Structure 1
Amino acid sequence: PKGTVPVLELAEGGCSGSLVIEESREILEWALQQSDPQGLLNVDLVSADALIDRNDNEFKHWLDRYKYADRHPELTQLDYRQKGEVFLQELESLLAKNRYLLGENISIADVGIMPFVRQFAHVDREVFYSLPYPNLQQWLRGWLEHPVFQQVMVKYQPWHEGDDLVVFPGDSRQI
């Protein structure tokens, strides 16, 4: 209804029909509750939730303004980048101690935060990789080079009525 992506529609809505989950974080949590073969929820969930909350509320605010500084002329793009960097500095500190944000194993925090760090980096890759965050940069590169990430990021042409069916690799469903 909000016209956002992604949206997960489940047929388990009870009397009301289907259940629609509209927030990426809620979709991630729902999916991991169904199956968590890598143990992404085997972490201090209070710490994970707090970090994801900071990402979703504080960092995303500055990220959106950094990406679209022309729409927010109250500050310069540099000012917005520097405000976003406060969170990046926290991530850098965490990654200076551990391979992943909350320890030596990947967690829901890594998966929930990485897309936003990726967006921040892609505003100006040259600037991002010149910033003093070597652990964060290495962490992001690891994600971007991961075979699973590369597989899900394959771009498809939008499907239109009359086009051939698309069968996704490893999936028996057709679109």
Structure 2
Amino acid sequence: MQKTDADLPVLYSFRRCPYAMRARLALLVSGQRCELREVVLRDKPQAMLDASPKGTVPVLILTDGQVLDESLDIMLWALRQYDPEQWLSPQQGSLEAMLALIAQCDGEFKFHLDRYKYPERYDNVDALEHREAAQGFLLGLEARLGEAAYLFGEHPALADMAIAPFVRQFSQTDLDWFSAQPWPRLRDWLSGIVGAGMFERVMEKYSQWVPGTDGVVFS
């Protein structure tokens, strides 16, 4: 573990959170070094809550004190610093089209995903009804992937990396069921992303950050 540089941005993250995953993916591909502080959600550090009272991850505190506490804002900030894989410039479509698809993921799909994966957190919820309702979004992705290897062309772009962590979470809720569904292109797309070295890097395990200690240099 490397000691951190006081001049680095600070990233509060939680390994298994899909929002934090996509933020880490963008920071990694853009080469933006930061001090990663792994958070345990039941024991949130006060420094994180002081920076972002809503108490969700990821939170990125820039060196000038600016706080970014939305994962998509972190992705866009990082990629606007340096975008070597052209995630903001898809082969097909536009940045605006990608953002619209991500909004569908973060809206209706995430609503049903939460109630499918965590029905005990909600009143009067039938998990299977929400699984069925979520399939419309996934079938739309399957159709897009019939035109190219990725959602907006033959190479990964912002939409792929912002959406894949949530499809991964959906798939792992009942992997046998997911594997039996008629979306082979979606499964291949997901496997290609989560099986890549970049995704493995952002899923490395870190100990819970303890206030007063150095975080991990993430790059």
What corresponds to 1:61 in structure 2?
111
Q: Which amino acid aligns with 1:134?
A: P
Q: Which amino acid aligns with 1:22?
A: D
| Matched position secondary structure for 1:8 | strand
Fraction of identical pairs, as percent = 43
| Matched position secondary structure for 1:63 | helix
| Alpha-carbon distance between aligned partners in 1 of 2:216 and 2:205, rounded to the nearest angstrom | 14
1:1-175 matches, within 5 Å, as 1-12=53-64, 18-43=65-90, 44-160=94-210, 168=217
| Alpha-carbon distance between aligned partners in 1 of 2:68 and 2:63, rounded to the nearest angstrom | 11
Q: CA deviation at 1:104?
A: 1.2
Structure 1, unaligned runs of 5 or more: 13-17
Task: Return closer, same or farther for 1:78/1:105 CA change in 2, 3 Å cut-off.
Answer: same
| Alpha-carbon distance between aligned partners in 1 of 2:128 and 2:55, rounded to the nearest angstrom | 31
Normalized per residue, which structure has more strand? Answer: 2
| Alpha-carbon distance between aligned partners in 2 of 1:72 and 1:166, rounded to the nearest angstrom | 35
| Matched position secondary structure for 2:146 | helix
TM-score (structure 2 length as normaliser): 0.70
* Moved >2 Å (runs of 4+): 70-75, 159-163, 165-169
* Structure number, greater radius of gyration: 1
Q: CA deviation at 1:166?
A: 6.5
Q: CA deviation at 1:108?
A: 0.6
Q: Which amino acid aligns with 1:8?
A: L
| Alpha-carbon distance between aligned partners in 2 of 1:96 and 1:10, rounded to the nearest angstrom | 40
Q: CA deviation at 1:162?
A: 8.7
TM-score (structure 1 length as normaliser): 0.86
| Alpha-carbon distance between aligned partners in 2 of 1:39 and 1:141, rounded to the nearest angstrom | 21
Q: Which amino acid aligns with 1:47?
A: A
Q: CA deviation at 1:76?
A: 1.6
- Return the structure number with greater relative CO, CA threshold 8 A, min gap 6: 2
Q: Which amino acid aligns with 1:112?
A: A
Q: Which amino acid aligns with 2:96?
A: V
